[in-house]
Amino acid sequence: MIESLNNDWAAISLTLKLAFLTVIVLLIIGLPLAWWLAKYKGVLKPFIEALIALPLVLPPTVLGFYLLTAFSPQSWLGQLWISLIGEQFVFSFTGILVGSIVYSLPFVVQPMVAAFTQIAGHAQLSASTLGIGRIKTFVFIVLPMTKASLLSAATLGFAHTLGEFGLILMIGGNIPSETQVVSIALFNHVESLQYQSAHALSLTLLLVSMVSLTLLYKFNRSGLPLGIGAGK
C-alpha cells in the first residue's frame, strides 16, 4: 500500500502545495474583502454577497468552463495573462491556483464576514468611541478576537481545496506534476482498474481531511468567544 503511494507522491505534494497557496492567497485578499464587506451597507451588498457565494451552488464544471473560456489564449484576458505571467492560463499550475481561489472563496470569506460583524461588531463601536483608530482596532482587537473563526475559515478553505475535482479537470486537465492533483490521480487509478492505489490515495485523503477537521473543532471549541467551550 505504501509502495503504491510512492507513485502518487507527486500528486500528493502538488495537492498540498495547491491547498496551502490557495489558503495563503485567500487570507491575503479575504481579510480586507471581508472587513470591507462587513462594514459596507450600500445597495450593491446583496449582489456582492451573491457573487462571493456563487461557487457554493454552481457546479464546479460551470465555473471551470467560464474560466477556461475567459482565459483561453485566444481571448484578450488570456493574452494579458500570458504577457504578465509568461505562461498560458489553461493547463498550468497558476491556472488551477486561480481556479481554486475562486472556488474556495466563499468558504473563507463568509466565516470572516460573520466573525467581523457578529463577534467583533460591538467591540468595534466601543473601540472607536474610546479613541482607537480603525487600523489599530483591526490589528489589536478584531483580529485577536476573531482568531478562532479565522483559523476555522482557513482550515475549511484548505480542506475544501483538497477535494477539488471538476474545476481542476476543466482548467488544468491531467498533467502529472503540473495539474494532476490527488482527486484526479484517484480517478485515473479507478479508470485503469488499479484499485490498490485508489484505496491508498482515498484513505490518505480521508485521513488528512478527518484530522484537520478534528483539530479545527478541538481548537475552535476552546477558542469560542463566549467561553461556551468546555475545558480549556
Q: Whole-angstrom Cα distance, residue 171 to residue 104?
A: 15
Judged by CB under 8 A, does residue 131 bind other proteins?
yes
Cβ at position 31, least distance to other proteins in Å: 17
45 sits near other proteins (criterion: CB under 8 A): no
Q: Does 140 bind other proteins (CB under 8 A)?
A: yes
Told to check if 226 binds other proteins by CB under 8 A, we report yes
Distance CA 130, CA 141 (A): 13
Q: Which of 16, 62, 77, 141 binds other proteins (CB under 8 A)?
A: 141
Please report the sign of the dihedral spanned by the C-alpha atoms of residue 69, residue 71, residue 77, residue 79.
Answer: negative
Q: Which residues contact 221 (CB under 8 A, 6 or more apart)?
A: 228, 229, 230
- What radius of gyration, in Å, describes the C-alpha atoms of the chain? 20
Site string for other proteins, 144-173 (x = CB under 8 A): xx----------------------------
Which of 8, 12, 6 has the alpha carbon at shortest distance from 208?
A: 12
Stretch that binds other proteins, among 27-35, 67-75, 85-93, 131-139 (CB under 8 A): 131-139
Please list, in sequence order, all residues whose beta carbon lies within 8 angstroms of the beta carbon of residue 182, skipping any fewer than 6 positions away.
Answer: 8, 11, 12, 14, 15, 162, 201, 204, 205
- CB 153, min distance to other proteins, A: 17
Binding flag, residue 213, other proteins (CB under 8 A): no
By CB under 8 A, which span of 3-11, 92-100, 188-196, 220-228 interacts with other proteins? 220-228
Closest to other proteins by CB, 73 or 133: 133
Q: Tell me: does residue 77 bind other proteins (CB under 8 A).
A: no
Per CB under 8 A, the list member of 2, 130, 193, 230 interacting with other proteins is 130
Query: How far, in Å, are 2, 6, 16, 58, 146 from residue 9 at the CA level?
Result: 10, 5, 11, 31, 36
- Residues in contact with other proteins by CB under 8 A are 41, 122-123, 125-134, 136, 140-141, 144-145, 225-227
